[in-house]
Amino acid sequence: MNIENCECRYFISYSGIKLPLKLVDPLIEANLQNRNTFFKGYFDGQDRLLLCQKVVYGEVELEHRYDYYDSGVLQQAEITDVDGEVTLLRFDETGAPLGSPG
């Protein structure tokens, strides 16, 4: 995943439980100094969320990295929690979860 050419946007929260997360309530960068917690999203040219970070008091507390099939369906989600533990979720071409890797 290359986020160099991605658009970075900021949000107050997300909605739902389905992946990829749906970030809601956009923020402008100038308002970040007034917030303790916000979400930072990196979007590709097709407006797909590639990287989502939950920032709390200036530190990344949670991170989601997403890969997609050419069709736009989520292929993989790599989730890093506050303790640095990584969970890898894979999906088939229809978006259905695949079994745990081996």
pLDDT in tens, 16-31: 999 999 999 999 999 8
Residue 37, both tokens: 């917690």
Are the C-beta atoms of residues 78 and 85 closer than 8 Å to each other? no
pLDDT confidence band for 48 (50 / 70 / 90): very high
Mean pLDDT estimate for the chain:
93
